[in-house]
Structure 1
């Protein structure tokens, strides 16, 4: 990782006081926990972070992540490309009590020893931005017919419906004609 924001834990108090912005791309290969959920770790995710003080001198980070990832289609088990675009708001806190007092719009991110290790926090945001279930659109998926309940259109032929009561109708006609 050649990124200045990720080499060392940063001082969130200085970053918020200076209202610093951090804009960087991070390779998916640098995010080990997120890799476990991906088919491959090619590519990178673009992050934009803006540090500031919020109401009541709350340390906050407004952020956004964008990028493409390859996940496993849950229908056909093939690779499927997903585009991510997620916004988030962190409240930087040191205690559980402070976390419980955050506004509902803020997610708690804990700082230890007055330092913020950015990589685990942004990796958490990437994991939260992933879809719960990834799949191709039905027309692009190579899933078996048994799963969808639909045969491919080129093999579908009109099906003649058999009426189970047709034998009774024939019997009724023969009884009427026999009288």
Structure 2
């Protein structure tokens, strides 16, 4: 769901945005606290810290941290979550079974809509989600599942069956392949009968 919109604020350059003091990536963003004032977070996160992504990472290669710059902002009375990812993850090639690097670098901008009537306020190309479907209510807060949304985009960017462009399929052979015995063609006898008729 990467964004192609040109007039959105960059996740790196949002104005009048408060920055929380936390250094680790938050699992959730409190909408009660940040949806009107804005939110910004920048940092690095280990790919293995994303629960679903961790299950497909190649264990044979060291994973580097993913750099993330995030802004939660409001435009045209619509809440947006914009973030920039920089980095790569190593998965296992489905042909040769060796590690393959998948580049995650991209910019994302997701409109977070209060209801379906707000769809008309965003461009046709704009990715959007309905807040009612993703926000968890934990009294007294409405929590946006920030880390899960970022992980969703990472998983959409990773191929289901990663493959190198120029590798051979790994084939393991166990034991000797028996040589085929030469047998007489069963139709040879029929051919000889045909000549006698």
**TM-score band (shorter)?**
0.5 to 0.7
Q: How far did residue 5 of structure 1 move? A: 4.5
> Deviations 1:143-172 (Å, cap 9, x if unpaired)?
369xxxxxxxxxxxxxxxxxxxxxxxxxxx
Tell me how many residue pairs correspond in the alignment. Answer: 139
Matched, 1:21 2:40: yes
Who is 1:166 aligned against?
A: none
Match of 1:76 among 91, 96, 116: 96
Change (3 A) 1:36 1:102: farther
The answer to whether the Cα contact below 8 Å between 2:64 and 2:88 also exists between their aligned partners in 1 is yes
> 2:57 corresponds to which residue?
38
Runs in 1 of length 4+ with deviation above 3 angstroms?
A: 2-5, 97-104, 142-145
Match of residue 130, structure 1, among 153, 158, 162: 158
Residue 143 (structure 1) aligns with: 169
Whether contact under 8 Å (1:17, 1:53) holds in the other structure is yes
Q: Which runs of 5+ in 1 are unaligned?
A: 146-179
**Are the counterparts in 1 of residues 69 and 83 from structure 2 also a CA contact under 8 Å?**
yes
Question: Does residue 86 of structure 1 match 2:114?
Answer: no
- 3-state DSSP class of the match of 2:52? helix
Computed over aligned residues only, the root mean square deviation of the Cα atoms, in angstroms, reads 2.8
Equivalents in 1 of 2:113, 2:81: separation in Å? Answer: 11
Q: Which has the higher contact order (CA 8 A, sep 6+)?
A: 2
In structure 2, the CA distance between the partners of 1:126 and 1:102, relative to structure 1 (3 Å rule), is: farther
TM-score after normalising by structure 2: 0.59
**Partners of 1:99 and 1:129 in 2: how far apart?**
27
Q: TM-score scaled by structure 1?
A: 0.64
CA distance in 2, matches of 1:123, 1:39: 17
SS in 2 for 1:125: helix
